[in-house]
Chain A
Amino acid sequence: MLALFALGLQSCFHHVSRVDPEKNIDLSGSWNDVDSRETSAAMVTQALEEDWLKNHMSAKKEKPVVIVGMINNKSHEHIDAETFMKDIEKAFIESKLVRLVQGGTKREEIRGERADQQTNSSVSTMKQWGLEVGADYMMQGSINSIVDAYKREKVVYYQIDLELTNLQTNEIVWIGDKKIKKVVKN
């Protein structure tokens, strides 16, 4: 009887509601969309406040061109690095202070399309080789985590390190980090 009552109650629990994608929701304590968004916003704000941007603007008189490279996942969770990289790229574009060029597999796809145009497009619309904008700086980084768990309590500490390197001189012009600490009780 108690069991039936229990089962009956359980079956009433299924409920779906739509929420604002910007709303912070923490369920399991794992890395989630909120972490990705907050980290990328904080990192880009940090990066754009530093001297390298002013130095570049005064020397070159134009916005720097940035490419977002590999963000290595060295954490204990399967983190989709692409979502995180997209969030960083989006924050860069929204800042209007830097120009961004495509990297990774998307760049390969674009080059494939350009190659295809060489044989299939009309001469007047065909895009030419060798006119891509070369990046001045590359952003690279890693996501690390430390877990300390005891029975049903867990502290998860994430540290996201990003650095910006001048592609011409190999000089590191900026290093930033963002730390997130979560306590999960089960």
Chain B
Amino acid sequence: MFKKSTHRFVSLLLIIIVSSCATYYDKSRATERQLIAGNYDDAQKKIGANKFLAKKRNALLFNLEMGKVLHLQNKFEESNRYLNEADRLMEQYRNGFETAVGITVNPSLQPYIAEPHEQIMMHYYKILNYVQLGKMEDAIVEVRRLNEKEKALDIASNSNEKKYSQDPFGLMLMGLIYEADGNDNDAFIAYRNAKLSYDNDQTGLYQNNEPTSLEQALLRTANNSGIAYESKEKYDLNYAPHGELILFYESGLSPVKAEKNYFFSLSENAAGFFFQSGTIIVPVVYNFKGNNPNFNPASLGFIRLAFPYYVSRSSVQKNNSVSVNGETKTLELIEDISALAFQIEQDNFFKNLGRDLLRLTIKKIAELSLAQKNEYLGTALNIANTVTEKADTRNWQTLPSQIQFLRVPLKEGTNTIQLKTNDGKSTSFEIIGNGKMIFKNICEF
């Protein structure tokens, strides 16, 4: 009788395991299909109907996804309502219980924590929304908030230039908005910080990839605010009397997270305890003999670790060209979100691995000590732990893969802009040169 019910229980758990293996990407395929088809309204409905996103712990993710699809529909006010809520959730006090669940049970059960580059991208969309709404004071508030995020990134990476730290794209954006607001002094400081960030970068993502317009912007804003700045190049400081177009071209879809299983064993040498899986060795700073001097690491057996990893989404690399009033211009890559995601994964790989292994070991020790007292309860806890062992595969999936950039002077009156991609698509629009900086972003998936 007991065996029969145990059998049923195990079968049920197996069903749960199989069904719960689905990643966030698996659960949001319908949204992706609508995005690629350009049905942003339907994509919004799919996000709204996504049961996974409706969970309280995924509120931040839900607000980010909604903010982006509403932005795509030019619903700037509504988009910012969601993005402001996302911003609030990012800053919210995390209670001890939720953190404890993340540390001890499973990180995917704790409230979603945005990746560093996602925080920068949230401000990018909020700024664009406010600019489109003509709310410059609010756009400047966002720029100040972005500055706080940039400082936090620098602190989190210990100013390590080999890691993703200060994001020059964010700094460029700050400079552009300050400049559009007529604040050349703050614009210069932001541009100069961007320049330093490009120059000092050791990740290979940014060095020598600064936009060609940056040097000119530095010289112009320095000159306008009475700051001495030497440049090797000579520029016309009044090069855009009829205004400028600041164009961002967003293409493709950001990477998503999949789940990979690692099987680790715990060993001990003179230096202490370490986990090993093939060639991966992770030292553990934890005294397993603290409670039990006879602790034998081999008694843990193999520990299965479900670990998330980034996977690129097939997006066609487009060679784009823009013609402004019949003159061809080249777009420059200003933010490679795909490359950033892999960089951040690499930066934190061992840190996250160590954290997750420690979590699993603590669970395993609990299983063993319970099994010593009651075999069935030990088995039950083992099954429960197996069920809950799941990688956190959440990330902001409506982000683009790459953002390209162009700033170009406008002529007085109507300007015709035509954007051509090598897959034959062509978009054209008109902009009135009115002496101001006009911001526009185009998104294609």
A1 to B56, Cβ gap below 8 A? no
Return chain B residues, CB-CB under 8 Å to A1.
Answer: 380-381, 384
B92 to A6, Cβ gap below 8 A? no
Of B91, B94, B155, most buried by chain A (CB within 10 Å of CB) is: B91
Q: How far is the CB of B385 from chain A (nearest CB, A)?
A: 8
Within 8 A of A (CB), among B182-223: none
A28 to B388, Cβ gap below 8 A? no
Residue A76 contacts which of B56, B106, B141, B381 (CB distance < 8 angstroms)? Answer: B141
A72 to B94, Cβ gap below 8 A? no
Residue A78 contacts which of B98, B109, B138 (CB distance < 8 angstroms)? Answer: B138
Interface of A, helix, strand, loop or mixed by DSSP: mixed
CB of B2 closer than 8 Å to a CB of A = no
CB of A140 closer than 8 Å to a CB of B = no
Return chain A residues, CB-CB under 8 Å to B106.
Answer: 3
User: Bound complex: CA of A36 vs CA of B91, how far in Å?
Assistant: 21
CB of B145 closer than 8 Å to a CB of A = yes
Return chain A residues, CB-CB under 8 Å to B384.
Answer: 1-3
Closest to B142 in A: A78
CB of B444 closer than 8 Å to a CB of A = no
Return chain A residues, CB-CB under 8 Å to B156.
Answer: 151
CB of B105 closer than 8 Å to a CB of A = yes
Q: How far is the CB of A104 from chain B (nearest CB, A)?
A: 15
Given contacts A3-B388, A6-B105, A28-B88, contact A78 B141 (CB under 8 A): yes
User: Bound complex: CA of A78 vs CA of B148, how far in Å?
Assistant: 14
User: Bound complex: CA of A3 vs CA of B380, how far in Å?
Assistant: 13
User: Bound complex: CA of A6 vs CA of B111, how far in Å?
Assistant: 13
Given contacts A2-B388, A9-B97, contact A73 B141 (CB under 8 A): yes
- B78-104 vs A, Cβ < 8 Å mask (1 yes, 0 no): 000000100010011110011001001
A186 to B94, Cβ gap below 8 A? yes
User: Bound complex: CA of A76 vs CA of B174, how far in Å?
Assistant: 13
- B362-386 vs A, Cβ < 8 Å mask (1 yes, 0 no): 0000000000000000001100100
Closest to B143 in A: A76
User: Bound complex: CA of A50 vs CA of B144, how far in Å?
Assistant: 35
Of B57, B141, B381, most buried by chain A (CB within 10 Å of CB) is: B141
CB of B45 closer than 8 Å to a CB of A = no
User: Bound complex: CA of A71 vs CA of B54, how far in Å?
Assistant: 39
User: Bound complex: CA of A27 vs CA of B89, how far in Å?
Assistant: 12
Q: How far is the CB of A151 from chain B (nearest CB, A)?
A: 6
Q: How far is the CB of A133 from chain B (nearest CB, A)?
A: 30
Return chain B residues, CB-CB under 8 Å to A150.
Answer: 155
Within 8 A of A (CB), among B134-166: 137-138, 141, 144-145, 147-148, 151-152, 155-156
Return chain B residues, CB-CB under 8 Å to A6.
Answer: 97, 101, 105, 109
Q: How far is the CB of B22 from chain A (nearest CB, A)?
A: 16
Given contacts A3-B109, A10-B56, A147-B148, contact A28 B141 (CB under 8 A): no
CB of A75 closer than 8 Å to a CB of B = yes
A149 to B141, Cβ gap below 8 A? no
Return chain B residues, CB-CB under 8 Å to A151.
Answer: 155-156
User: Bound complex: CA of A2 vs CA of B367, how far in Å?
Assistant: 13
User: Bound complex: CA of A167 vs CA of B206, how far in Å?
Assistant: 53
Of A1, A3, A149, most buried by chain B (CB within 10 Å of CB) is: A3
B137 to A73, Cβ gap below 8 A? yes
Return chain A residues, CB-CB under 8 Å to B137.
Answer: 72-73
Of A6, A28, A30, most buried by chain B (CB within 10 Å of CB) is: A6
Which A residues have a C-beta under 8 Å from some C-beta of B? 1-3, 6-7, 9-10, 27-28, 30, 72-73, 75-78, 145, 147, 149-151, 186
A-B contact pairs, 8 of them (CB 8 A): A10-B56, A10-B57, A10-B97, A73-B141, A76-B141, A77-B141, A149-B151, A186-B91
Which B residues have a C-beta under 8 Å from some C-beta of A? 56-57, 84, 88, 91-94, 97-98, 101, 104-106, 109, 137-138, 141, 144-145, 147-148, 151-152, 155-156, 380-381, 384, 387-388
Other A-B pairs, 8, CB within 8 Å; known A6-B105, A186-B93: A6-B101, A6-B109, A7-B109, A27-B93, A28-B91, A77-B141, A149-B148, A186-B91
